[in-house]
Every structure is written in C-alpha cells, then in structure tokens.
Chain A
C-alpha cells in the first residue's frame, strides 16, 4: 500500500512505467527528505492534483512530472556537491540564459537551480505543505509579522534544514525587490557563513512612462552588470562559457517562448479550453532554469499544445462560450483555489499578465552582443520596468487577448512587484475604460488569506463581470 501511493503519484505526474524502477526509490527518498508523509502524498493523489490540474491531458501530467524530476534532483544537490559538482543558485526573477549557458558548457560539472521556486511550487501546489518551511524561517530570524516573501523564507529554511547545500556561488539579482538579495546576506551572516553570494542590482529610477529598453545608457548599464556578474560566477567556479553558448541559449529560449505564447493564444480562445492553473507551470520555463534541462518541459508543452488545440477545434471549454474573462496580474498554482473560485463562478482568468509577452518582447533583439540583448529583453518585460511603461504593456495585452477587465493584487509580499498595483490599476482603467479590481492577498501561500476570507471578494467580482457582459 505504502508503495502504491508513491507509484500513483508518479503515474499521475506523467512518469512512464519504464521510468518507475529508476524514479520510485528516488522519489521516496526525496519526499522523505522534504518531510512529506504518505498521507501528504495520498492527499496530492486523491484531492489536490485532481481538483486543480487537468490530469486527463498527458501534456499536463508530463508538465507536473518535470517539476517532480527537478525537485528530486534538487534534493540530491548535497550529493552532487560532495562529488565536486559546482553548485550555482539564483533567485527569481532572473534571466535564466546565463544559468543554462553554464549548464550547456559543462553539463556534468555544474548544478544550477533557483531552489526556493521548486520547493515552493511543489510543496504548496501539489501538497499544500509549505507552511512547515515558512514556520521554520519565522521562528529563526525572519519574523512572521513583517510580511516577508515566502520564497525567501523557503530558501533560508531549506538551507537550515539541510535539504540543500551551500552554493559555490549564489548569483542573486535585485532587479526587482530588495528583500531577495538581502535575504542571502541574512543567510550568510545569521546561519551559514559558506553561503557565498554575488549581487547584481539595478536602481528603480526611471520616470513614469520611460520606455526603458530604448534608453541606451540603461541597457548598457544593465548589460555591464550582467557581464560583470556572469564573469564573476565563471571565475568563482572555474568554468569559462563561450559567448556562443549564451546565443545558443537565447535561441532555445526564444523557441520555447514562441510555443508558450502559442499556448497563451489558445488559452484566450472562447470558450476557454483549459483551466488557468493547469498550464501555468509552462510559463515557469521562461524564468527558472531546470538543472534537468528544458527539453522535457518543451516535450510536455508540445503534447499540451496538441491536446489543447483539439479542444479548441471541438469548441470544448471549461466555461460556457461568452463567459467573461479577466487578465490577472499573476496567478500562482501555489494557491490554486483562487483561479478555481473564479472559474466556478463563471469567470475565466486564463492568463497572467506577468507571463504573457508583448509583440515587442517577441521581436528579435536590436543587439548582437548577448549581454546587450539580454538587458534589452529584461527592460522590455512589464514587471521589471516603471509603472507607466508597464501600464502601456498591460493595455496591449488586454487588447490582444480581448480581456473584459483585469485583477491586480495578491502580491502583498513583494515591495516592488506588489506595491505598484494600486496606481497601475488606475492607469489601466483610465486607458482601457475596462473594470479593474484589486484583491489583497498572497499567491505563494494562503495561511493569512483563506478561501473563506477571499470568497466574498471573488464572488462579487464575478457577479459584476457577469452583469456587465450580460
């Protein structure tokens, strides 16, 4: 029986029968290390996953499997380090090209990961069991009351609990919030002197409305920062990456980005063919490096695209045709009931603003130099820039995907990404004349904002939207 629930879990997450012999013992070991009981796995198999993911689709099962494989791999990082593999961490959001370029150059000599992302996603989206990690951090120096980010708490907690080793280098990006890089300084001083970091920052000092990717001085500064950071990382771990590898990664990334964009287009078809939570993990491939590689994510995406297209062709939807649909700033599968609650109330939130790309983002770079190209790409991304420019991009996305309104909020933990929503909402409402809503909450974890706490708000939004659309 004990074996069955783990086997069921792996089958449900897209593992093939021939993979069982290899992955079952590894998963059992990993789940034990993560503090998962058989009851937790059973809960995932019988309740959590069937309730929130379209498991009838092979592409979605395979997608979940990619996260399981990566999590298993992450729990082996201590062994990798013992064997001499160089450990390189990063934090979200970052441009993952550099991490993949390391991996492409020296696949067996380097381990790359944004560890908190995988633990947070898997523990909460699959098992609803991130709380013990958060509580561990809260009782040992990152207090509960200040609304610190769950990712930062998790990164600290998994180091404290010995789930991950100290990195050879942790290249941390403070291009958005301050807390993420400072958490690494905290970890080093408070808990682990071996937690070696290299920090790269970019001040938020552009006036509202500045098209930041067209300010050449800014692009150059960011490119210099990236070059400086990447060179320091290479020096630290003794691996030299040729520039062609970065270019190679950019091509791979663009190919994947084009496919994800295609999924985005399909998701916004009427009727909405797939629930919002199911496909959301695909977008993570744009921002988070997989040590196990992007290839299996791409394979899963290909299958999912085929399956979703079939649904579109048959006009099969999870909502009736003509149902209102809202663009949401960011929907996280870590709190999957939010999207489900919208859908149950007859309103779709098929896509997250943060993850869908504008036409300009899909356009090739103006620069040959890979650092300039990466910097330009970063400064074309809505969440990374000033609210004036961001609002313009949001309006384009609303028009392209024909949304009926927008939902902001659910980012209480982020003093950068979450703090502009109120004025962003006003700007978007002024420009589009569409309804804009704000929900206070935290889409990494739901200890403070339970379904009961948010139900009235979400139901009211849905009622308004249905009345407007009627």
Chain B
C-alpha cells in the first residue's frame, strides 16, 4: 500500500522536519505517555513529538549507570538513545512533558532533569476513582497549558483548542474505522501495518494525516486481504509496542496469523472516546483522558475493567488466541498477565506470554520463533 509507505517516509524524515520548524522559531515539545494531550500542544502552536522508541537492546543498557537495571527497557529507551548520542530529536526539544503515572516514568523524568533537559512532569494519580485525584490531573493540565503558552508565546484560546480537539478526533475516528475493517475475516490490514500506521499518526501534520487516512480507508475497503481465509486471528496485548519494536508483530504475521486487534496502553491512540467540544474544554479534555478511556494497567482498580474490555475485543474481533507482549521487569504488567492468563484459560482462549528485553539477536530470535510458531500452530489446529 503506497499510502503506508508515504506515511513511513514522513516518520523517517520527521527529525529533519522538526529541525526546519525549530529554525523557523516553532517550539518543539516532546512528550511521554498517553495522558499528555497532544491537543494542547498543537493549540499552542508548538509541534508535538511522542517519545516512544523501542526494540533495541543498547539504548536501555546505556541507562544502567544511572538507573536500576531492573527497570522497563521501554522507559529506559526514551533517554537511552540520547545517552548514546544517536537520538536526533531530543536535542531539538524545547520541552519534554513526562506523564508520571508510575515509577518507571517518574524515574525517566528524574533522568531527563539530571541531564539538564527541559522537563515538565504531569502527575497522573493511579487512584482514579476519587474526585481529588481527578482534580489533581486537571490541575496538572492547567499547569501544562500555562507552560505551553509561556513557551510558545501563544495563548491557547478556546477556538484554537476546539480546532485542535476536532482535528485529532478526526484522526481517531479514521483510525477507528480502519481498525473496524479488521473485524472481517480475512482482514484487509494486519496488526503489523496497523501499529505502524498508529505510530505514523504521532509524527504527521494532522491535516495531511486526515487526508491520507481517508484515502487509506477507502482503499482498504476495496482491497483484497493479504491474508488467507483460515488465518488465525490474534489479539496482541500488553504495555506498548514502541516505534521500532516491530520484531514480534512481524513474526506473528510471518508465522501465518494476523493481529486482528491490539490492547496496548501506550504507543497507540486511544480512539474510543472523544472530548466534547462544548462547555469547559479543559475540563472535557481532563475527563476524556483520565476517566473515559480504558484505564491503563497501573490504575487502581483497573484489571477487572480491562478484562471486560478484552472480552469485548475477543468477541467483536473474533479472536482465536491472545499473545501477551511483556517487557522485562515491568512488574505491574507481569502481575496482570497472571490474571489475564487465568481468565483466558477459563474462557478456553489460547494464551501466550512473550517477554522481551529488546534482545533480538539471531540467538534470541530462534527460540522466540519456535514459541510463536508452536502457539500459532496450536491456535490453527483448535480453529480447524
């Protein structure tokens, strides 16, 4: 699909584009995490850039002299590339906004600050059912708005914010529609491409993006599926598939399955809910981001609701098996995995846990391939 390649090209050349924009005086704002609303960054006239890299072992290792090694390789990667001197984006950033919903993110923020990078923390209390926690997050967004206004010199007016919300909602709508095409068997787009597509949406100008997503949607509706009718349908679940961390999704689809749906907390757009564009827009944003989307694993309570959501995905997307993609030492996801595994067993849904420290050498890929192949084979047999 040409459009996917065009989008991939935009992602690849994003650092150069950011550099050009910075040279023109536009502020560049990096951010970590799904609770940092891009809407606010766009509305301030700054350019957002999601920090979400992963998939290579060297960057997390570069952080070990500064952090406990039993920390998430994903979090460590967000500064690891910079420490290795191979991150073209971080030196360009005028501000890095880090959501602090868990220890891994907060320690990442510590390191950004330790290395004198311009950092702002956005506190996200995990005890989300309380009004004081909701208010805490809202106040954090208000502080973020003020910081962005000071940084960019632009007021985030109601009109600008409304425009920004509407624009990103269109992106979410289109992604949702494309994702829903995967409810058919065989689907016209697989998860490997869909995750790439999701990633691309974080690095494109929304106007360009909306046009391209529209075109892609129309094309996919008509196109023939690259998968065969009997292809087993997999739900890929876990914390995150970072930008560049494509070995496992590709392996799953190369092995004869299709990722028909994802259930990931980070690195994908949460498309289900939109912020209302009437009334107090800041309150609306806070409510949408904090309360109305599926809670991430760190929230408490979260797991029961997340299991219910998974069950809906399994039903709606006619899932044959679940692959849990876990990053090493992510202790909360490790606990959740046991709960989900038990639930899947009760539902007689095949379940495979894959753990990664981004070590994808030839020696590591061999056993990984065998595990995925065996799992897909068993899912196929069950399906037949």
Contact = CB atoms under 8 A, between A and B. Distances in A.
A420 B110 contact: yes
Contacts of A145: 355
Nearest to B105: A204
A143 B298 contact: no
Contacts of A55: none
Interface in A417-442: 418-423, 426, 440
A207 interface: yes
Nearest to A221: B136
B342 interface: yes
B332 to A, nearest CB: 5
A394 to B, nearest CB: 15
Contacts of A199: 126-127, 300
Contacts of B111: 423
B339 A189 contact: yes
Interface residues of A, number: 48
A228 B104 contact: no
A202 interface: yes
A446 B334 CA distance: 22
A72 interface: no
Interface stretch (A79-87, A176-184, A321-329, A375-383): A176-184
B70 A206 contact: no
A201 B127 contact: yes
A143 B121 contact: no
Interface string B78-102: 0000000000000000000000111
Contacts of A189: 303-304, 339
Nearest to A387: B110
Interface string A267-281: 000000000000000
- Among B126, B302, B328: residue with most chain A CB under 10 A: B126
B100 A203 contact: yes
B300 A181 contact: yes
A145 B104 CA distance: 18
A132 interface: no
A204 B336 CA distance: 22
Nearest to A198: B127
Interface stretch (B61-69, B166-174, B208-216): B61-69
Interface string B150-177: 0000000000000000000000000000
Contacts of B336: 186
B134 to A, nearest CB: 12
B218 interface: no
Contacts of B338: 141-143, 186, 190
A177 B338 CA distance: 20
B331 A179 contact: yes
B132 A415 contact: no
A365 interface: no
A190 B343 CA distance: 9
A17 B149 CA distance: 74
B71 interface: yes
Interface in A205-226: 205-208, 221, 224-225
A412 B70 contact: yes
A204 B106 contact: yes
B70 A415 contact: yes
B32 interface: no
B335 A147 contact: no
A221 B130 CA distance: 12
A422 B66 contact: yes
Contacts of A207: 113, 119, 121
B124 interface: yes
A413 B334 CA distance: 14
B34 to A, nearest CB: 15
Contacts of B102: 178
Given A142-B335, A185-B301, A203 B67 contact: no
Contacts of A113: none
A154 interface: no
A386 interface: yes
A388 B121 CA distance: 15
A386 B110 contact: yes
A179 B331 CA distance: 7
B133 interface: yes
A361 interface: no
Contacts of A254: none
Contacts of B132: 221, 224-225, 228
A115 B379 CA distance: 43
Contacts of A185: 300-303
A336 interface: no
A208 B113 contact: yes
A146 B329 contact: yes
Contacts of B110: 208, 386-387, 420, 423
B107 interface: yes
A148 interface: yes
A14 to B, nearest CB: 38
Interface in A379-416: 386-388, 411-413, 415-416
Nearest to A141: B338
Contact of B334 (A148, A204, A412, A418): A148
B296 to A, nearest CB: 11
B123 interface: yes
A200 interface: yes
Contacts of A183: 335
Contacts of A388: 113
A174 interface: yes
Given A179-B331, A182-B335, A225-B132, A418 B68 contact: yes
Nearest to A225: B132
Given A142-B335, A224-B132, A415-B104, A202 B67 contact: no
Interface string B103-123: 110110111011000010111
B101 A423 contact: no
Nearest to B335: A186
A190 B339 contact: yes
A418 to B, nearest CB: 5
Interface string A226-268: 0010000000000000000000000000000000000000000
B54 interface: no
Contacts of A413: 70
Contact of A423 (B103, B114, B298, B302): B114
B334 A415 contact: no
A387 B111 CA distance: 10
Given A146-B334, A204-B100, A205-B121, A419 B303 contact: no
A182 B298 contact: yes
A440 B69 CA distance: 9
B125 interface: yes
Contacts of B330: 146
Contacts of A190: 338-339, 342
Contacts of A148: 331, 334-335
A422 B100 contact: no
A179 B338 CA distance: 14
Contacts of B67: 419-420, 422-423
19 contacts: A142-B335, A185-B302, A185-B303, A186-B338, A189-B339, A199-B126, A201-B127, A201-B133, A201-B300, A203-B123, A203-B125, A205-B122, A207-B113, A416-B107, A418-B68, A419-B103, A422-B64, A422-B65, A423-B114
Interface of A: 141-143, 145-148, 174, 177-179, 181-183, 185-186, 189-190, 199-208, 221, 224-225, 228, 386-388, 411-413, 415-416, 418-423, 426, 440
Ranked 3 nearest A-B pairs via Cβ: A205-B123, A203-B123, A204-B106
Given A148-B335, A221-B136, A224-B132, 7 more contacts: A178-B331, A186-B339, A200-B127, A221-B132, A416-B107, A421-B68, A423-B111
